Amino acid sequence: MTALLVLEDGRIFRGQAYGATGETLGEAVFTTGMTGYQETLTDPSYHRQIVLQTAPQIGNTGWNDEDDESRAIQVAGYVVRDPARRASNWRATGSLEDALRAQGVVGIAGIDTRAAVRHLREQGAMRAGIFSGPALAADDELVARVKQSPQMEGADLYGAVTTAETYVVPAVGERRFVVAALDVGIKFNTPRMMAARGIEVHVLPASSTIEAVESLRPDGFFLANGPGDPATADGPVELARQVLERRIPLFGICFGNQILGRALGRSTYKLRYGHRGINIPVVEHATGRIAITSQNHGFAVSGEAGEEFGTPYGRAQITHTCPNDGCVEGMAGIDFPAFSVQYHPEAAAGPHDAADLFDRFVTLMTEHPVGYAGVAGRRPEGTAPAPYPQPDGTTDAEATDADADAGAAVAEVGTEPAAAPAMTEQPDPATPPTATAAPSVDLRPTPPTPSPTPAAGGFEPVGPEGPHTGSRPSADVDEAADEHTTRLPVTPPAGTPATGRDELEPPTGRMPAVGRPGTPDPLTAPFSDIEDALRRDGGTPAHPGATADPDAADIPADPAPGADPVSGRARPVDDRPWPPPPGSPSTPQHPDRHDQARQEDH
């Protein structure tokens, strides 16, 4: 059956219907991930978008009941080039097309996705529609329908994907912290990653108030990913400001990064075609570390690499940027406990380079104890938690008196104050699917070797900066039921021990250091200059245009003489331009390459 992909500028691609038939409208975007299409389709951040896969073959592993990142497929439409004719995977319960049909997602296959991606890269993401079956009409009429659809700028979408009621993801093993997570489009794997670190996650609706947050007495606050224009998220932005005023440790990702940016006084803007894929580099400027990340966003926070700026809560800094376009990828408070990144550390799907950000969140909550679990590890035994700081910088008198009375009562009976309320399992007609094991890498933090003088029941959680002192909260937790909550079960990876892990996650590779005087900056210099520096420091000859190094005598001998440190080849790399100029002797040797280059240009 014929299907059409119609863009708002009049460009039309003709193919075959894939999935459901009919009409769908949304913003046309592309994603470069070669794997993880099920996670992509169920990512709430793609709500009301028509997703085009740059990878030509899609659907090989079918569809299963374990990899969903939300309750349903979220995309408005789906565009592929060569869908698999049959699924081949031991976990598959059906085909990708069957899942699209069952959930009414209109798609198209067989178009030149390469040409479509180039068009979107040059012209930018734009409104589009997929039409098939009875929805087909004259081209002009279809273009007019597309132009009548709403723009993504100004779109308020997070309310369409948030949870209707609070639910709880219990900690795997012993509960160490309690986190309130604002659901503006959260993916299932995010609370799993926190649960694997002993965090009990209370997922709250996007309309939650600061009173609902404070009632949990959380150790931290989490801002999730989500769809739409951050300029419309006034409610979450105001809630984030109230959290910052109370000095509750805050961690945000993706849409949450933009919410935090607005709360700190930064503006946001729409990218031309966005960042969507699982191989996007990010630079952490404090360390020079390069992480390959999973991303899905069409808006960004304004700012420059390393920029330090003032906020109502103290100084903050831009900590991460993308080397591809300079886009802000992260920020952090200098004088207050908050940080965020624009990418997805939960990596569903994607690389695990950024998984340590959840460990940093644990460290932040340990260093700034304000909740039940955090304060229990720092306060003297028998004393109540201190009240949250008030927005005006003072402590409310009534709250102070109440806490003092509670502390006196606790000291009198000689027992620990009540821990954070535990949520009991409640039946739910729309129960989230059973959570699967976390990614194959065991992500549970490893307790360090006990110090020579540990405190009774001592426990030192490990963060990126090293161990920090603290203790486990009391095992006697209040299991009172809450009639407004449900549980999202979490299953630890097979073979995972009750505590700890066998080995730490492998460190992320960094860009090779080029530390000799006069060498190029690896973040800004042309790559050819970086290659010259690498070959020079590695003891191999640079290309003929490189300048000789006056300190060449001081360079240690190359451990593998003749090997190129950039390419790994046993001989120097041919750095001549391609295609070669007319009359070049290499042209007759490879006549097909010139034709291929010409095809690439067209």
Dihedral angle sign, alpha carbons of residues 133, 138, 141, 142 = positive
CB 510 within 8 Å of CB 282: no
- The residue with tokens 């008198």 is 397
Q: State the Cα–Cα distance between residues 215 and 211, nearest whole angstrom.
A: 6
Q: State the Cα–Cα distance between residues 226 and 253, nearest whole angstrom.
A: 9
Instruction: Supply the residues annotated as catalytic.
Output: 254, 344, 346
11: left (phi > 0), else alpha (psi -120 to 50), else beta? beta
- Of 203, 213, 332, 205, which Cα lies nearest the Cα of 261? 332
H/E run at residue 109: strand 106-109
Q: State the Cα–Cα distance between residues 459 and 449, nearest whole angstrom.
A: 10
Peptide bond into 421 cis (omega under 30): no
> In the chain, helix, strand, coil percent, each to 5?
25, 20, 55
286: left (phi > 0), else alpha (psi -120 to 50), else beta? alpha
Q: State the Cα–Cα distance between residues 453 and 153, nearest whole angstrom.
A: 58
Alpha helices in 170-254, H assignment, sequence order: 189-195, 210-215, 234-245
